[in-house]
């Protein structure tokens, strides 16, 4: 499951839990009202008081914090179903105990033993059934090849093979083992041959495979005593690329990654995350992307229609320039732009390589002869980028994120830390767009992308969007 979808599901789960709590709170109050010291009519009157309403909101907050404490709002992909059910029961029991204790201190007479029993049994059973249903739906999706994560295992030994078999034997986890990385001699054993898994590359060629393949996660199972330095190098490469790394519960000297212990049935693994794009804010970011892209496509439809006619009538060729670009974790997607160049512009690129005015692997010319007269205006005003709102709506891109690059530019990367930019979804605008656009050198561009990934927040996205508007209007750095 993509990060934003996973976070959206967790956000929905939080809202659903609060709705369940509220519903069973009211049901418990109604069940208790016939025997309590106050009647139902008095209870309804009490609820509209500001003080009691504030107490109820505080109760919801305590409930939410309690569930978060038990890890029920974290991704539980590797957690067995039984453990999640037990955690739900523990969390609801503790929350009810807190409510009962607070009711005694605040003298809330409505919270009687009958209320507590009805509320706890009802909320617990409903939440447990809800999580079982979610897991059942996820299993159905994963059996159909959806919501899978590509996993690469380092170490063709019995521990690595056992880990791979454990993951693939449980479709609920949603993993697809791509293969193993190890030395051919270490993989040439009867145990590995019988496992049926493939050796994809040697340890030395791991970085080459990582650069050219779709990898969502890497699990390291090399013998730590004899391969500690090699394991550290591999983890550091995953850190540079922004790829999730899972290892046995050992600590490494990381500069960017944040480690979390996660359970896998009777085992534990150390998961290393890089960047700040995690948590509920990621789901909110995706919702904002959808809402704004739909609104802009609707509002700007007349402009898009006019530009379509102008492009079609002023030069031969298609209206849209469609190119394969690298997205999240180097997944390829088709990027849409209004065409600003002549029809055979891509074929003429080799003729202009010596005239490149940009440093690094990218190609830029201030007076590119392939750009049409209309194209210059579209580029200066960034109108040519508007069709990328379709990419945002599809989920290929975000409104804010590192600019997507074609494969040609990616092949020119010579530093692995630069490839961490692919650990987040690319965007229409980014920090480099508001700090000089095409005029800034390549290494500075990459540094700004890393700064965005490490500092990310919804507030930073908002600031970049607000700064993009005057930058576009002024045409600063636009070629």
The 10s digit of each residue's pLDDT in 265-304 is 667 777 777 777 776 678 778 888 998 999 999 999 999 9
Band of the pLDDT at 214, cuts 50, 70, 90? very high
* Residue 59 CB neighbour total at 10 angstroms: 19
Is the domain of 305 the same as that of 256?
no
Q: When comparing pLDDT for 395 and 94, which is higher?
A: 395
Cβ neighbours for 450, distance < 8 A, ≥ 6 positions apart? 417, 420, 421
Q: Is residue 180 part of a domain?
A: yes
- Owning domain of residue 288: 280-474
Is the domain of 296 the same as that of 400?
yes
Band of the pLDDT at 248, cuts 50, 70, 90? confident
Is the domain of 112 the same as that of 165?
no
Is the domain of 137 the same as that of 180?
no
Q: Is residue 479 part of a domain?
A: no
- Using the 3D structure, point to which of 143, 168, 183 is the last residue of a domain: 143
Cβ neighbours for 402, distance < 8 A, ≥ 6 positions apart? 421, 422, 424, 426, 427, 430, 449, 452, 453
Instruction: Encode burial over 159-175: b for 16+ CB neighbours within 10 A, e otherwise.
Output: ebbebbebbeebbebbb
Could you write out the DSSP letters of every residue in 97-121? HHHHHHHHHHT-TT--HHHHHHHHH
Is the domain of 243 the same as that of 286?
no
Could you write out the DSSP letters of every residue in 363-382? ---TT-TTB-HHHHHHHHHT
Asked if residues 217 and 246 have their Cβ atoms less than 8 Å apart, the reply is: yes
CATH classification at residue 206: 3.40.50.720
Is the domain of 225 the same as that of 322?
no
Say what the pTM is. Answer: 0.65
Asked if residues 235 and 254 have their Cβ atoms less than 8 Å apart, the reply is: yes
- Using the 3D structure, point to which of 254, 273, 292 is the last residue of a domain: 273
For the chain, give the mean pLDDT. 81
Number of domains making up the chain: 3
- Using the 3D structure, point to which of 122, 143, 164 is the last residue of a domain: 143
Is the domain of 360 the same as that of 324?
yes
Is the domain of 262 the same as that of 341?
no
């Amino acid at each position: 499951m993509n990060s934003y979808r996973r976070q959206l599901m967790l956000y929905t789960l939080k809202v659903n839990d609060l709705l369940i709590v509220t519903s069973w709170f009211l049901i418990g109050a109604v069940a208790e009202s016939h025997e309590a010291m106050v009647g139902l009519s008095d209870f309804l009157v009490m609820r509209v008081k500001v003080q009691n309403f504030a107490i109820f909101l505080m109760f919801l907050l305590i409930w939410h914090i309690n569930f978060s404490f038990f890890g029920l709002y974290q991704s539980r992909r590797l957690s067995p179903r039984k453990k999640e059910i037990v955690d739900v029961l523990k969390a609801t029991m503790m929350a009810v105990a807190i409510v009962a204790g607070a009711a005694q201190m605040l003298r809330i007479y409505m919270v009687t033993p009958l209320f507590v029993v009805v509320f706890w049994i009802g909320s617990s059973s409903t939440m447990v059934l809800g999580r079982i249903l979610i897991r059942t739906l996820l299993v159905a999706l994963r059996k159909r090849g959806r919501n899978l994560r590509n996993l690469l295992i380092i170490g063709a030994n019995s521990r690595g093979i056992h880990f791979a078999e454990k993951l693939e034997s449980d479709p609920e986890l949603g993993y697809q083992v791509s293969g193993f990385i190890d030395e051919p001699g270490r993989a040439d054993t009867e145990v590995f041959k019988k496992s049926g898994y493939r050796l994809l590359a040697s340890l030395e060629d791991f970085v080459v495979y990582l650069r050219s393949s779709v990898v969502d996660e890497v699990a390291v199972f090399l013998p730590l005593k004899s391969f500690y330095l090699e394991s550290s190098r591999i983890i550091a490469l995953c850190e540079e690329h922004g790829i999730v790394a899972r290892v046995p519960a050992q600590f490494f000297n990381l500069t960017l990654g944040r480690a979390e212990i996660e359970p896998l049935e009777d085992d534990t693994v150390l998961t290393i995350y890089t960047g700040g794009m995690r948590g509920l804010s990621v789901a909110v970011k995706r919702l904002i992307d959808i809402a704004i892209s739909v609104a802009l496509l609707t509002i700007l439809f007349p402009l898009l229609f006019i530009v379509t006619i102008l492009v079609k009538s002023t030069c031969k060729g298609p209206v849209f320039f469609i190119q394969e670009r690298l997205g999240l974790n180097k997944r390829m997607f088709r990027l849409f732009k209004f065409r600003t160049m002549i029809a055979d512009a891509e074929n003429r690129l080799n003729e202009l390589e010596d005239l490149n005015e940009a440093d690094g692997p990218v190609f830029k010319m201030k007076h590119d002869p392939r750009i049409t007269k209309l194209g210059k205006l579209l580029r200066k005003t960034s109108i040519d980028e508007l069709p990328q709102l379709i990419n945002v709506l599809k989920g290929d891109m975000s409104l804010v994120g590192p600019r997507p690059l074609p494969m040609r530019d990616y092949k020119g990367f010579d530093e692995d830390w630069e490839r961490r930019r692919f650990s987040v979804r690319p965007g229409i605008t980014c920090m480099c767009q508001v700090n000089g656009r095409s005029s800034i050198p390549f290494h500075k561009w990459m540094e700004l992308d890393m700064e965005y990934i490490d500092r990310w927040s919804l507030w930073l996205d908002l600031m970049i969007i607000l700064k993009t508007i005057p930058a576009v209007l002024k045409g600063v750095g636009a070629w």
